[in-house]
Structures are given as structure tokens and as C-alpha cells.
A and B are shown apart, each in its own frame.
Chain A
Amino acid sequence: MARDLAIDLGTANTLVYMKGKGIVLNEPSVIAVNRQSGEVLATGHDAWDMIGRTPSYIVAVRPLRGGAITDFDITERMIRLLLQRVGVSRFTRPKVVICVPSAITEVERRAVTDATRRAGASDAQLIEQPMAAAIGANLPIDEPVGNMVIDIGGGTTETAVISLGGIVALEAIRVGSFDIDVAIQNYVRREHGVAIGERTAEEIKIQIGSAEPGPADRSADIRGRDLVTGLPKTVRLTAEEVRFAIDEPVAAMVLSVKRCLAKAPPELAQDFLARGMYLVGGGGMLRGLAQRIERETEVPVKMSPQPLEAVVLGAGHCIENYQALRGMFMGTRR
């Protein structure tokens, strides 16, 4: 008998929680496919290493963008491989809870559940990422107080106010940490005339990217291809330049948090001043982002101790208490 699973099918990373065991898999949401034969050549870390470095017959892709499935067939194969790797066979069909962005459309919702059922699940239920994140971050959402959670993922930024086990206010935009990488790529191309890949852009973001000026501002040498000569070229980028380059997506994230605050009922809004807001997701780890949100909203921001795992841990708790928490799943609310 297969153990039931919770899957955080993120734009950047995929995490799997197995009932009674905890997190059993954590790897990039990337799959490498042979274009000619259609065979899957690698998934996860192996496929991530191939991005931008493959011969023409291999394509290494992220099948999710903005939290939505862009390639149904590839996503189904990726889920099937994930299930196989955690011990699901054609004879053992587990129940699966999948975390999805709250802004997902009905068509996208159907695509995720269909892909999961066809990949071998007996039942597929969806839960909104901010709700799962709040459970996983251990916020007291069972109490009648306002809990605010900001989940910044690879493709989405979702802010939710949760009280008494349900979402009170919600704001979601399809801007995430990949948009920060793209902004860096565009800036380097425009200002320095150099083309860089998405992995290099991500490395720059991690090394010197920040949303607020700080004492540790540094500069970094980056290598790319000169757009005029076509030859390899090294340029130096400062933290200030990167901050300028990423200001647009960062401002969009902060604005979405402000919009959610404005939607919150006044009784709950006063709780935020005392309790603060919780930041989860890989995108929330951008240097200075918590301080920037705090400065612009005048509400304290706290970082969850496990920002990358909070969502899957919350969904894992739902799979452990499947019957009691059924009402939380999308489409089954009473």
C-alpha cells in the first residue's frame, strides 16, 4: 500500500512529503528531454546542470512558469517520475495533495489534477500555497487572530490573511524570483551589451542582489557573450546596479503586499502591527526584501525559519489529517 503524498510543485523547486516520513525529495523543477525520441534524459539536479548547455537535440526545460503548467505532457511525465522515485508503482496508488498558486485558473487547476491522476495518483486534491505555507510556518491559524503570510516563489508572489483556519484576504500576482533573474539579464544586455544565461543571472542575484542598500554591498565580475563581437566578455556589476535593475519586480511584490493589507478587515489589521507578517519562499530570501516591505508598509516582517520547506510541510500536515482538513482543499470548501 502506497503512503499518501504531498507535493509542492513549484516553478523553481519540487518537494515531496510522504505521510509518516516527512520530506523525501527536494530538487529543481527541471526536466531534460531528447527532442527527437521524446525520451526523458534527466530530472532535478542533473537536468538543472544542463540548462543552457545542451546540444540541439536535448532540451532542458522548466515545465512550470508563473506557477502554471506550460507543457502538460512534460509535467505529467515529471510527476510520474517523481512518484516512481518515491516508491509509487502501478499497483500502489496514493492520495496526493498538491500545492498550487491561489491565482490558478479553473483550466490550470484541471490540468494539475489530471496530470497527477494520470501519473498514478488515486485521488488528487489541491491546496493554496499561502494556506499551506501558514500551516508549515507554524502560525497560530487555529485562533481568531490575523496571521499574514507572504509567499514569494519562483513565479508568483502570494499574500494571504488567515484566521480561524481559513483565508480572509488574498492577493496574488504572477511575479516571482525568476522575474528578478530576467530583470538582471535584461539590464546587463541593455547597459553592458553582454548576454548572460538564466543560471548566471540567478548567481548574481544570490551573490550581490538586494532590495535595500546594506553594509555588505559588493560588486561581482560576470562573464557572458559580447552582443557586438560575439566573443566572451567579463563585466563588473555593483550591488547598486543590480538593485536598480530589479526594482520593478521588487516594487510589484511590495505593492501586492500593500494591496492585501488594504483588503484585511480592520479587526485583523491591528493584529499585524503586534504580530508582524511572515515571509516564506525562496524569493523571500533576497537580501533586504524583508526590510523593504517593513519600511514601505510600516508592519514588522519576520522570516520563517524554514522558508523553502514551509509550503510542503503544511501540505504534509494536510495529508496526515486528510479527513479533518478536507475542507481546505480547493473546490471542496463548504
Chain B
Amino acid sequence: MSFISGFFWVMAVISGSTLLTLVYLDHRKSRIDDGIAQFRRHIDALSPEARRNSVQRNNDERWGR
């Protein structure tokens, strides 16, 4: 194997592994962001404002307020 083809082999391996690492890190970041967004949605859906449309509306109708 000549020096040039060996050099290109090494470069290809380094580039490939760098690309894979970048893809993995990006995916991991988006998964962390998903968790935060999901938890935020969960908490927001339990806020008094969110419950105003279902729970409080029913109570108000029931008690004639």
C-alpha cells in the first residue's frame, strides 16, 4: 500500500468517526431537549390556567357561578 492510499484510509476513518460522533452528540442533545419539552408540557397541562377549561368550568356550571 502506497503512502498516499494509506493517508487517505486514515483520513477516511477519522472523518467517518468524527461524523458519527457529531451525529450521536446531536441526537443525544435533541433527546435531552425532548425530555425537557415533554416535562414542561406535562407541568403546563396541570397548571390552574389549563384546568380552567375542564375542571373549573364543570365546577362553575355545577355551583351556578
Known contacts A138-B48, A140-B48, A309-B62: does B42 contact A316 (CB below 8 Å)? Answer: no
Give chain B's interface residues, CB within 8 Å of chain A. 38, 41-48, 50-51, 53-59, 61-63
In the bound complex, do residue B55 and residue A327 qualify as a contact, i.e. CB atoms below 8 Å apart?
A: no
The 12 sampled A-B contact pairs (Cβ below 8 Å) are A23-B58, A136-B55, A138-B51, A138-B55, A142-B43, A142-B46, A306-B62, A324-B41, A324-B42, A324-B44, A325-B46, A334-B38
In the bound complex, do residue B53 and residue A320 qualify as a contact, i.e. CB atoms below 8 Å apart?
A: yes
In the bound complex, do residue A306 and residue B59 qualify as a contact, i.e. CB atoms below 8 Å apart?
A: yes
A43 to B59 alpha-carbon distance, docked (Å): 26
Give chain A's interface secondary structure class. loop
Which residue in A23, A165, A306, A334 is a CB contact (below 8 Å) of B46?
Answer: A165
A164 to B46 alpha-carbon distance, docked (Å): 9
Known contacts A305-B59, A327-B38: does B45 contact A316 (CB below 8 Å)? Answer: no
Which residue in B38, B47, B58 is a CB contact (below 8 Å) of A313?
Answer: B58
A184 to B23 alpha-carbon distance, docked (Å): 69
Which residue in A305, A309, A314, A321 is a CB contact (below 8 Å) of B45?
Answer: A321
Distance of B46 from chain A, by nearest CB (Å): 4
- Report if A22 contacts B (CB, 8 A): yes
- Report if A189 contacts B (CB, 8 A): no
Give chain A's interface residues, CB within 8 Å of chain B. 22-23, 135-136, 138, 140-142, 164-165, 305-306, 309, 313-314, 316-317, 320-321, 323-325, 327-328, 334
| Chain B residues closer than 8 Å to A306, beta-carbon distance | 59, 62
A231 to B46 alpha-carbon distance, docked (Å): 57
Which residue in B43, B48, B51, B53 is a CB contact (below 8 Å) of A165?
Answer: B43
A313 to B62 alpha-carbon distance, docked (Å): 12
Query: Which 10 pairs between the two chains have the least Cβ-Cβ distance?
Result: A324-B45, A142-B46, A321-B45, A317-B54, A324-B41, A22-B58, A320-B54, A313-B55, A142-B43, A142-B47
A138 to B63 alpha-carbon distance, docked (Å): 15
| Chain B residues closer than 8 Å to A320, beta-carbon distance | 53-54
Distance of A140 from chain B, by nearest CB (Å): 7
| Chain B residues closer than 8 Å to A142, beta-carbon distance | 43-44, 46-48
